[in-house]
Amino acid sequence: MTQPLADLIRPQKLKEFVGQAHLVGKDKPITLAVERGQIHSMIFWGPPGSGKTTLARIIANEAGAQFFPLSAVSAGKEDVRKVVELAKKVSRGKVVLFLDEIHRFNKAQQDYLLPSVEDGTIILIGATTENPSFEVISPLLSRCQVFVLNPLGENDLEKIARRGLEELKKEKQIERRAVPKEALKFLIKFANGDARQVLNLLEATARLYRKITLENLKNALQSKFLQYDRAGDEHYNTISAFIKSMRASDPDAALYYLARMVDAGEDPLFIARRMVIFASEDIGMAQPTALVVANEVFRACETIGYPECAINLAHGAVYLSVCQKDRGAYDAYFRALKDVKEHGNLPIPMNLRNAPTKLMRDLGYGKGYEKYTEESQLPDKLKRRRYYRRPESK
């Protein structure tokens, strides 16, 4: 079997697609767009292995359009130009340009896409693991509909695993026998919402052992067949180790995992963005200036780029590692959010309400407001709540 398992079992029709029921279920937006022949430019935002590429291929197939996949990691303006020139020779709406990791295109490259997207020469489907609000320029974002893809649930992963197993049996890559329940359960837990992880591990195990068992799956995890993939999977494991090392105040481990990512060609902004989040989530009020440092590291990566910005990343990683840690503000926010979800929009106390008109003032809006008071400003139902617990002074 020379063709990857993921390609062999890739669905060709929308009804065969597994997961993302909020988008492809009955009367859901993508289903309706396909059924009505109203395909438009869109951006898929979701984690690795959630089906972004597969869904884009299906949409093009269902629309009878030519499908041109490009990766923003390796493609450039000239590659896009070739697709646009070809699209001008066919019917409007019959060329789908799929741009994986669209967040890796710079502003000038994204600007180049605008006219062809706006006049419908191409249907652009961008895919990203990053928030498009920050990574895609506003004019392009306004011309595309953003769809959020979620990590796949365990039932969806089991369906995909069983498809993969059937294909491996058909290709005589594994024995025709039932897979132990504990092996299937381990496979699904290991995948953590990522279909590609399921299929990669199945394929690696089949190559090595020709039998899918719990022990063989665990052994295959250590094999050479599962290589670092900076474009999709393994960088999430490495960034996790990097963050956890900083959290443990271990600058040596943080530098090691940072070096692995840089050496693999990881996007420096991907690393720096996580450092900015870490500064508020894990350091917070213990060292408020950590956010300033992290933001400056991000800015340095933006303006300098590789190879020199690796030094800025190293500087930031060590600084964040040795800072005191305090998750108080982070935890307090989520305690407050829990009350918002549970109680909804409780009435804001009258003394805190804006009173721009005489009628509002007559109704008591703003009455009794004091600038400096020790009284709780929370809604009446939550007066006794304390979300943020100030650390005791030493």
Domain ranges of the chain: 20-148, 154-220, 234-322, 346-386
Average pLDDT for 224-241: 62
CA distance 379 to 28: 38
For residue 124, give the nearest of 140, 108, 104 by alpha carbon. 140
Residue 115 has pLDDT above 60, yes or no: yes
- 353 pLDDT exceeds 90? no
What is the arithmetic mean of pLDDT over 349-355?
85
Whether residue 394 has pLDDT greater than 70: no
Under the banding of pLDDT at 50, 70 and 90, the label for residue 53 is: very high
Pick the CATH number of 154-220 from 1.10.8.60, 3.40.630.10, 3.30.420.40, 3.40.640.10: 1.10.8.60
Residues 6+ apart with CB under 8 A from 60: 66, 67, 96, 98, 123, 125
What's the pLDDT at 234?
A: 64
Residue appearing with tokens 């090691």: 256
* Mean pLDDT on 133-162: 90
Q: What mean pLDDT is predicted for residues 232-236?
A: 62
pLDDT bin (cut points 50, 70, 90) of residue 265 is: confident
> With 60 as the cut, is the pLDDT of residue 166 above it?
yes
pLDDT beyond 70 at 226: no
Do 20-148 and 154-220 show the same overall fold?
A: no
pLDDT band at 392 (very low <50, low <70, confident <90, very high): low
Indicate if the pLDDT at residue 230 is higher than 60: no
Q: How far apart are CA 63 and CA 355, in angstroms?
A: 54
- Which pLDDT belongs to residue 219? 85
Tokens linked to 64:
């009878």
Q: List helix spans (H) across 37-180.
A: 52-62, 77-87, 107-118, 132-135, 138-141, 154-170
Contact indicator for 30, 43 with CB cutoff of 8 Å: no
128 sits in the region (left: phi over 0; alpha: psi -120 to 50; else beta) called beta
Q: Which fold has domain 234-322?
A: Zinc Finger, Delta Prime; domain 3 (1.20.272)
pLDDT tens by residue, 201-220: 888 888 888 888 888 888 88
Residue 232, SS3?
Answer: coil
Q: Which fold would CATH assign to domain 20-148? A: Rossmann fold (3.40.50)
pLDDT number for residue 117 = 93
Which pLDDT tens digit goes with each residue over 273-289? Answer: 999 999 999 999 999 99
Output the pLDDT for position 227. 47
Q: Are the C-beta atoms of residues 127 and 100 closer than 8 Å to each other? A: yes
Average pLDDT over residues 132-139: 86
